[in-house]
Structure 1
């Protein structure tokens, strides 16, 4: 308990030092406000956009549009990549069908095939959701596959000895044993999807936090750019924290053996 408090204190001190250094640099005037805005100007921009919005959308609307696209694609990935990844690890025939497809597109930069998705689906949410789905599918699929292949054969043989069939082994042995890897994939996929979403909004969008940052850059509004980047960073940390909390509750035995 004491160790956790010390770590939290160190985190707060680190953040405070960064903010103070930021304030000091802008106060001395080493760089122009266009390059590095002061913390106060970023705060003022945040208050102004909260009150008046930006280009016809409120700040919550921009953030909501981004998170809506992200969560929709994320849920689609969860309900497809996890079952397919587990089944691929459990059945070599299924793996032979799916794995080559995943390995083909996985190394490709998401924006490389985003232009194709835009041609097929337009610049609306459909192309972005499809892009996020593809970006998030591979990390979860591979993590699930790795989790199954690392399961000790003794576990499966022990279940067979007790009379379990293949379906029972899958749900009561394979799935629980692969849960730590599944959550690793969930965290990785969320990060990949979030960065991909921001990049996609910068390429083709009319709303969203990524679009807000890009549009502000056209007018050299570094205060709005910094504000958008900070919001994206905080949002990403909070989303990852939610998954970690869920992991602690679900995989409560992790690290105890």
Structure 2
């Protein structure tokens, strides 16, 4: 919740600062009275807002991972590291009590630390020592070296003078101690607000691993080969889906018979997620390349068919009547009216289909593949290499964003009449 609140706070502050600074220079009455609300073509992304948003995400990432890229005063409270001490009060069956010291050394997860030495003490309750890694817990075998044990009716009745019992917790600045159901102290160091590197490594850790994999590769393949395999599968499957789906969509948009024949099939398959088809595709085509291509073909097919059908159905009928009045024939209307006016919808569907294919290929590679971005992420997760997992996710997102940008560029140049009557 804390990172979310920081993000919201930065958004609010940035919004007011940027809008005030940008609006301060507008004095022209004509520009002030321009109405853009509800006009999608008049809305353009604010580049400053985009830069601040990305910078804020990286800042929050660094704050809650203790990154060296972020000044230490901005770091979130880290997990406790050092020596923690507390005392417990043991009571024998006949009511005698004695205090003993417990000294615990909390160390980073990757470090190896020896158990500290503590004097035994003079009473029947002897002092204890233990070591534990950050974000972990440790049970203290308190009666192992005592003169009396739980079998003889001895039990812990207080921690640092605070009465306690099975299931109860005593909190400290450095952590907490909870008595188990059998009366054994379970020490948990304070976790702070920073994320453990196992779950979220710092940005520089991910960057260093990325550089290393770009140089050395991953599982006998370079990173470019892994990404290339994924891109090849996506492009090939998308092209097959478009080649079949667009003509099918045109036929459904122009013919009652084709619409009635294929509409139940398309509308039935449209809400079925491609991932649900993976088991069936594996049964049909195995786990090789053919199965992955078929899955991506099916992922793109229905989207492209619906986009083409929607494009044809959305053509302004007045344009068709105008073409007929000028003596145009059916193939001329198809060539000069229907196809140009349906292309914007088809491009929109193509962008959606490409995004779905890109997400589907990664999931398909998670199931069975020797190369690809999805295989890389799955293999890394098995060995808890979170930095590689995050690297793969970032690369997948960057490539997907790049594909969408290229398709937007192609749409602007190939369909410049989009949004114009």
TM-score (norm 2): 0.59
**1:6 offset after TM fit, Å?**
7.8
**1:144 offset after TM fit, Å?**
1.2
Tell me which stretches of 4 or more aligned residues in structure 1 moved more than 4 Å: 2-6
Aligned to 2:368: 204
Q: CA separation of 1:6/1:237 partners in 2, compared to 1, >3 Å: closer, same or farther?
A: closer
CA distances 1:42-70 after superposition (whole Å, capped 9, x unpaired): 01110111111111111001100000000
Answering whether residue 314 of structure 2 is matched by residue 159 of structure 1, we say: no
Matches within 5 A, 1:168-247: 168-247=332-411
**1:203 offset after TM fit, Å?**
1.2
Answering whether residue 53 of structure 2 is matched by residue 14 of structure 1, we say: yes
SS at match of 2:196: coil
CA-based RMSD of the aligned residues comes to 1.8
Which stretch of the first structure deviates more once superposed, 97-106 or 245-254? 97-106
**1:242 offset after TM fit, Å?**
0.4
Q: CA separation of 1:4/1:167 partners in 2, compared to 1, >3 Å: closer, same or farther?
A: closer
Which stretch of the first structure deviates more once superposed, 170-179 or 78-87? 78-87
Answering whether residue 87 of structure 2 is matched by residue 48 of structure 1, we say: no
Answering whether residue 190 of structure 2 is matched by residue 26 of structure 1, we say: no
TM-score (norm 1): 0.94
Q: Which has the higher contact order (CA 8 A, sep 6+)?
A: 1
2: CA distance, partners of 1:212 / 1:245: 30
Aligned to 2:82: none
Aligned to 1:116: 280
Aligned to 1:71: 235
2: CA distance, partners of 1:180 / 1:58: 38
1: CA distance, partners of 2:259 / 2:293: 25
On the 8 A contact 1:132/1:193 being kept in 2, the answer is: yes
Matches within 5 A, 1:63-102: 63-102=227-266
1: CA distance, partners of 2:314 / 2:242: 21
**Structure 1 or 2: more strand by fraction:** 2
**1:5 offset after TM fit, Å?**
9.6
Which stretch of the first structure deviates more once superposed, 105-114 or 26-35? 105-114
2: CA distance, partners of 1:237 / 1:133: 21
**1:79 offset after TM fit, Å?**
1.8
1: CA distance, partners of 2:264 / 2:270: 10
On the 8 A contact 1:86/1:175 being kept in 2, the answer is: no
**1:146 offset after TM fit, Å?**
1.0
2: CA distance, partners of 1:99 / 1:131: 21
**1:4 offset after TM fit, Å?**
9.4
**Structure 1 or 2: more helix by fraction:** 1
How many aligned positions are there?
256
SS at match of 1:26: coil
